[in-house]
Amino acid sequence: EAGVVQSPRYKIIEKKQPVAFWCNPISGHNTLYWYLQNLGQGPELLIRYENEEAVDDSQLPKDRFSAERLKGVDSTLKIQPAELGDSAVYLCASSFSAEGDTQYFGPGTRLTVL
């Protein structure tokens, strides 16, 4: 069974440029998560989707970050414009449901903003 797929794995951009990350969850998983992981820290939740509905986006900086999960499968996380402080690893995870289920993570996208 394929795991969570993310692309790209690495991205280097200039500040003020836009960037987008893509995630394909494990087949059959209804809940999808985007996390931000800074160096030396654990992942922090940005947004959680249940099917196509964003049910927790309280930690998403909405002035520059946006996300979508069309048709309740793949998801895209976008930053526009990127700032130096956005350099981090962006992780996508999925679970069968949101009620305390085990979350399975993708390999992440390492973003460097110059």
Partner 1 sequence: SQELEQSPQSLIVQEGKNLTINCTSSKTLYGLYWYKQKYGEGLIFLMMLQKGGEEKSHEKITAKLDEKKQQSSLHITASQPSHAGIYLCGAYTEYGNKLVFGAGTILRVKS
Task: Give the interface with partner 1 as residue ranges (CB under 8 A).
Answer: 4, 6, 33, 40-45, 48, 56, 89, 91, 93, 98-100, 102-108, 110
CA atoms of 100 and 10, how far apart (whole Å): 30
**Minimum distance, C-beta of residue 103 to partner 1, in the bound complex (Å):** 6
Residue 48 or 69: which CB sits closer to partner 1?
48
Residue 96 or 105: which CB sits closer to partner 1?
105
Query: Among candidates 75, 13, 78, which has minimal Cα distance to 50?
Result: 75
At 86, give phi and psi (nearest 5°).
-85, -5
**Minimum distance, C-beta of residue 64 to partner 1, in the bound complex (Å):** 22
**Minimum distance, C-beta of residue 12 to partner 1, in the bound complex (Å):** 14
Residue 22 or 104: which CB sits closer to partner 1?
104
Contacts of 34 (CB under 8 A, 6+ apart): 23, 45, 46, 47, 67, 75, 77, 90, 91, 92
